[in-house]
């Protein structure tokens, strides 16, 4: 197992207990010592169909992913004005930019001439203008059409009517959300202010994207999400990697609408440890795990934060965008070593363990077995989340 050693950099920001929101601190203060944790028995089920059928997938698309704004990427991916990135994880070509004024805009990545993608890859670009590779129509980073090749060949073409199609969007706690359905106004009511404040306190809006990876998985998005809502699997699935770092005990859970916050102590945690060193990194003692509506997972670690956006592509197909956020770039060789080793570890844990478990589970579910999934007391958050989604459906 990889052991992450303490590091110091000139730019590093330590998250202390006092730097968190009062609501976060209140939740952390409720975490018992592992020996005092009590598991409330539970036996709950959900039908196989919610993971495998086209009908349920279509209901989720209509009732959630095309009805409400959804996360498209992290703010940290576009830290400077004049930056742009394309994304097609939801099956819709998107273009996300940060304008000269610093405002984020989300467009359909399609030229207003014949629909060609303007940016074909998913890398981050720095540019003041974007030119369509087909007929060289040119757009500003704000989506305005500023140039048409052989404009004289068009009869009274009004460029102001041919700007890129913009979607409603906003930044929320360092996550960029967009309304994918242009036919209805965005309903932002599911995005909790408390969760946004939590993310800001954790440094997510101002973080640095150290690592980024896209996974194409043969699994339903909820099958991928489930392990990040429960601790039942940790000491079992992750026995050879990180299992010995985490308690086999329930988390302290708060729900803010359809958003879930879980806080838990690491192995050996005792509540009095919180007050032994006021300047200590709170992530050494406590792990935060969030499920932000409807499909964004955020998990804190000692030196970095993991952000995952789980984008449904079909009943048994999903794209997962993973981001490893650090407080800043590595400014020393030691910091680079730790960040690099951490990225390798977490990609192996999530990709080789959690995502592998999702895919092998999906194979059985798609074969009709079991007819209903069963959940215990260490998986109660899964049931809580499904109840929240079901209300919206």
pLDDT band of 205, cuts 50, 70, 90: very high
pLDDT score of 218 more than 70: yes
Residue 330: strand pairing partners:
none
19-23, 121-125, 234-238, 353-357, range with the lowest pLDDT? 234-238
CA distances from 68 to 45, 299, 322 (A): 27, 23, 22
For 326-339, write each residue's pLDDT tens digit: 999 999 999 999 99
Compute the distance between CA of residue 381 and CA of residue 2 in angstroms, rounded to an integer.
Answer: 29
71 and 176 in contact (C-beta within 8 Å)? yes
pLDDT for the residue numbered 27: 97
pLDDT score of 13 more than 90: no
Domains of the chain, each with CATH number or no CATH:
17-65+190-392 (3.90.380.10), 81-167 (2.102.10.10)
Q: Assign 222 to helix, strand or coil.
A: helix
54-58, 236-240, 361-365, 378-382, range with the lowest pLDDT? 236-240
pLDDT band of 102, cuts 50, 70, 90: very high
At which residue do the structure tokens 């030119």 appear? 131
Compute the distance between CA of residue 66 and CA of residue 79 in angstroms, rounded to an integer.
Answer: 27
Contacts with 82 (C-beta within 8 Å, 6 or more apart), sequence order: 98, 99, 100, 126, 127, 128, 141
pLDDT score of 22 more than 90: yes
pLDDT band of 29, cuts 50, 70, 90: very high
At which residue do the structure tokens 């080793």 appear? 341
Q: Assign 218 to helix, strand or coil.
A: coil
Residue 255: strand pairing partners:
260
Residue 224: strand pairing partners:
none
pLDDT score of 227 more than 60: yes
pLDDT for the residue numbered 361: 98
pLDDT band of 204, cuts 50, 70, 90: very high
DSSP 126-149: E-SEEE-TTT--EEETTS-EEE-T
What is the model's pTM?
0.94
pLDDT for the residue numbered 241: 87
30-44, 103-117, 319-333, range with the lowest pLDDT? 30-44
For 165-202, write each residue's pLDDT tens digit: 999 999 999 999 999 999 999 999 999 999 999 999 99
Mean pLDDT for the chain overall: 94
Closest-CA residue to 81 (of 63, 100, 65, 96): 100
pLDDT for the residue numbered 10: 37
For 245-274, write each residue's pLDDT tens digit: 788 878 999 999 999 999 999 888 999 999
pLDDT for the residue numbered 11: 43
Closest-CA residue to 126 (of 148, 145, 141): 141
> How many CB atoms within 10 Å of residue 385?
21
Structure tokens at 322: 């993973």
């Amino acid at each position: 197992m990889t052991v992450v050693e303490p590091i110091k950099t000139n730019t590093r920001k330590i998250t202390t207990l006092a730097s968190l929101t009062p609501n976060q601190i209140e939740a952390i203060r409720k975490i018992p010592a592992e020996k005092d944790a009590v598991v409330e028995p539970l036996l709950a089920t959900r039908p196989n169909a919610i993971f495998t059928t086209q009908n349920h997938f279509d209901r989720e698309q209509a009732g959630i992913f095309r009805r409400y704004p959804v996360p498209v990427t992290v703010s940290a991916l576009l830290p400077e004005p004049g930056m742009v990135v394309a994304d097609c994880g939801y099956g819709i070509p998107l273009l996300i930019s940060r304008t000269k004024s610093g405002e984020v805009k989300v467009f359909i990545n399609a030229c207003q001439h014949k629909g060609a993608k303007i940016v074909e890859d998913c890398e981050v670009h720095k540019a003041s203008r974007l030119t369509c590779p087909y007929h060289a129509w040119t757009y500003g980073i704000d989506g305005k059409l500023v140039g048409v090749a052989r404009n004289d060949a068009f009869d009274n073409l009004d460029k102001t009517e041919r700007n890129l199609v913009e979607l409603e969007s906003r930044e929320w706690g360092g996550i960029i959300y967009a309304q994918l359905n242009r036919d209805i106004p965005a309903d932002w009511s599911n995005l909790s202010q408390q969760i946004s404040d939590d993310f800001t306190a954790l440094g997510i809006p101002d973080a640095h994207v150290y690592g980024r990876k896209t996974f194409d998985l043969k699994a339903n998005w909820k099958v991928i999400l489930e392990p990040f809502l429960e601790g039942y699997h940790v000491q079992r699935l992750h026995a050879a990697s990180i299992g010995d770092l985490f308690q086999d005990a329930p988390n302290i859970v708060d729900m803010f609408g359809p958003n879930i916050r879980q806080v838990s102590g690491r192995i050996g945690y005792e509540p009095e440890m919180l007050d032994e060193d006021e300047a200590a990194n709170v992530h050494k003692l406590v792990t935060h795990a969030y499920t932000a509506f409807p499909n964004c997972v955020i998990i804190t670690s000692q030196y970095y934060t993991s952000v995952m956006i789980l984008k449904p592509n079909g009943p048994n197909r999903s794209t997962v965008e993973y981001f490893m956020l650090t407080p800043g770039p590595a400014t020393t060789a030691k910091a680079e070593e730790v960040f690099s080793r951490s990225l390798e570890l977490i990609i192996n844990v999530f990709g080789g363990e959690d995502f592998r478990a999702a895919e092998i589970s999906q194979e059985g579910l798609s074969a009709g077995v079991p007819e209903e999934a069963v959940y215990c007391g260490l998986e109660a958050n899964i049931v809580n989340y499904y109840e929240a989604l079901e209300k919206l459906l």
